[in-house]
Amino acid sequence: MPLPAGEIAAGVRARELRAVDVVAAALERIERADPELCAFVEVWHEEALRRAGELDARLGRRAGNVPRKEDALPLAGVPIAVKGRHGLRAAEPLLAAGCVAVGATSVPGPGTPWQTWGLGARGRTVNPWRADRTPGGSSAGAAVAVAAGLVPLATGSDGAGSVRIPAAWCGVTGLKTTAGRLPSGDRTGLAVQGVLARSASDAASWWRVVSQEPVPAGTPLPVTAAWSSDLGFAGPDPEPVALARAAVERLAAAGVVRLVRPRAPLRLMDPGPAWLALRTRGADPGEAHRVRAENDRRLAGLFADAELLLTPTTPTAPHGHDGPGDRYSTSLTWAFNLSGHPALSVPAGFGGDGCPAGLHLVAPHGREALLLAVAREAEVRTGS
């Protein structure tokens, strides 16, 4: 398993580790595991080793001198995977911070009506916990690469849950950012940048680099939080609800959150038709804008009473490779692509099928640092 991103970077900057050795080890893990997992569509072996060697040389030349601010390299030598063949542009701030991209991860194959799977160079991407189950998507290979310990960080994008769903089903941390905070080429504004990470601390390292915003070390606890099992419309299965609620109770017992009851129960309008209308060229957006405005009003009321909203991440356990049937795996996530709120999935335990489930944390606009601080405290205090 890889070291945490922060430990790798500290070791490489101090020249206690060589970036080329860290990256070579990641490439070896990928070579061993990817024939079964199919998490990658491309592996950039020679380029990654060349980049790592250049980084070591740069740090070697700097040895004994006072480092310049621009040479700080907060993620020096950290191997990362990028989502899809065209993911390097979104990763530019990470590369500038010293990361080394080792390959492009799998995304859904062409012609499928559902997005909760991936197609790697060697075949369909499998869930690392059960090969007969999907990892979720569309950031499928990214979640698998992180969950299997091939890399500590992988970039993702989230248009309806495409970071958070695979994070939940693969048992890792997945952050969706606030709409408009980071560059996005999505014409609808629904899809935003995100990250898959092995820990909240690693996700926070990503956030500090891409946003230039610090994650506070001492967030006042407990944070007030409201719980909703279904957002008023979703109809999730009992097991993911029970697993997420048990995770909430652990957070409350550890003093990380304090559950509060909002003045009005949260009952959102189903965002599905509005989301689909915004994604369909030529569709009348009027009704979508009405749903968005009404849900925004209801969420503003909730966040007047609580700092966080907590839900299950997904309504079901991971489905098989034949598809999800008539269930929308996005039913608990895409409301927040429509509203633009930042949201985070953290591990919430395992279902009876042996696959992970997720707890979904949603914060007011621009409060990514709060999400990450709470998730980090949860890891420290509960060991999860």
Catalytic machinery residues: 83, 138, 162
Whole-angstrom Cα distance, residue 213 to residue 100? 22
Whole-angstrom Cα distance, residue 357 to residue 333? 14
3-class SS of residue 24: helix
Q: What single-letter DSSP state applies at residue 71? A: G
Whole-angstrom Cα distance, residue 179 to residue 102? 28
Whole-angstrom Cα distance, residue 253 to residue 260? 14
Chain-centroid distance of CA 229 in Å reads 21
Whole-angstrom Cα distance, residue 341 to residue 92? 24
93: exposed, middle or buried (Cβ count in 10 Å: 0-12, 13-18, 19+): middle
C-alpha separations of 349 from 288, 317, 353, 355, 371 in Å: 35, 12, 11, 8, 19
C-alpha separations of 212 from 124, 205, 206, 316, 369 in Å: 36, 10, 10, 36, 11
Cis status of the peptide bond prior to 384, with omega within 30 of 0: no
